[in-house]
Amino acid sequence: MKGICPNCEKERDLDLIQSIEEIEVRGEAIPVSVEYYRCLACGDEFEDPKSKSDPLEKAYGEYRRRHGMIQPDELREMRRKYGLKQHELARLLGWGLATLSRYENGALQNEAHDKILRLALEPQNLIKLIGEAPDALSEERREGLIARLKTLGESSCSLENVYEERFGSYKPDIFSGYQPLILQKLFYVILFFCAEGILKTVLNKHLFYSDFKHFKVNSVSITGARYPRIPFGPAPDKWQFFFTLLIEEGALESEEIFYDENVSGEKLTAIRKPDLSVFANSELLIMASVKEYFKGWTARRVSEFSHRERGYRETLPGRLISYEYAENLQI
């Protein structure tokens, strides 16, 4: 290909070089993919000035993923979800606006600040911060935010408590896509895919591919759900509990579909609309792409397709499928 070599200051023949390089982040070697050009006339190597890909940003993202730290887009989306402006959250944390702005724009936070952010972005903890910093917000803003946070907190806590009482809890790891289980998000993803009615087997594959594809692109899952290998293909761990709870709460409607006298399936249709504001744009794009990809597929076709996934083939029956296999995803 041809392009302008900054050393020759002329149009030259260029080679596009793609390689894996290690970038050291806090003493840890992080491998990242990099692209650059080599001028065939002078041998000079240079980056594409128009490229939006930043190797250091990739390295920071991978470091955060490995250590379970909050990502910039996650921080931005959570703040917007709660209706907080950047300067308001900075005041509540007792930080300068520049510090929070840097973190939202990709700067790597230290461990102490990461713990503060994770705690602060839980509704109940944020309510405490608002109470402890009365001068950070106007009285009207305080009352409005507290009311919103209480609603979100009560919903989230009740769901999490019910799940933990029955099944226990787990920490973010490679089997959850380095994301804690976020039941609110998982339920809204289910309602998103059930908007027009969907067979249960097909729904389970939509959930699997959404989480794994988002991990493939962004190094973190959407919901934090874990997926064991079961006979009809990957499905969220404890999926029966999730579907039953949504049906009992009146959010889903179940209908038995008969194909013939001996074969039937269960169709789930959403009665309520999901709150899509809880999702980042990257998450919504992945969910929409998965829905479009499998549009019109039968349950058998989707199931057989998922059986060809390397992660499914190389995982023992009943065991959890590692998100490491997302790299080999067929879509």
Cβ-proximal residues to 242 (8 Å cutoff; 6+ apart), any chain? 183, 186, 187, 190, 236
Contact present, 223 and 185 (Cβ < 8 Å): yes
Lowest mean per-residue pLDDT among 4-8, 121-125, 174-178 = 121-125
**75-102 pLDDT per residue, tens:** 988 888 788 899 999 999 999 999 999 9
**21-78 pLDDT per residue, tens:** 899 999 999 998 888 899 999 999 988 877 777 889 989 988 887 777 888 988 988 8
- CA of 27: how far to CAs of 23, 63, 102, 318, in Å? 9, 11, 21, 38
Question: pLDDT at residue 260 above 90?
Answer: no
Spans of all domains in the chain: 2-54, 72-167, 183-328
Q: Which of 284 and 82 is assigned the larger pLDDT? A: 284
Contact present, 243 and 252 (Cβ < 8 Å): yes
DSSP 71: P
Lowest mean per-residue pLDDT among 9-23, 72-86, 281-295, 298-312 = 72-86
Buried b vs exposed e over 53-62: b needs ≥16 C-beta within 10 Å? eebebbbbbb
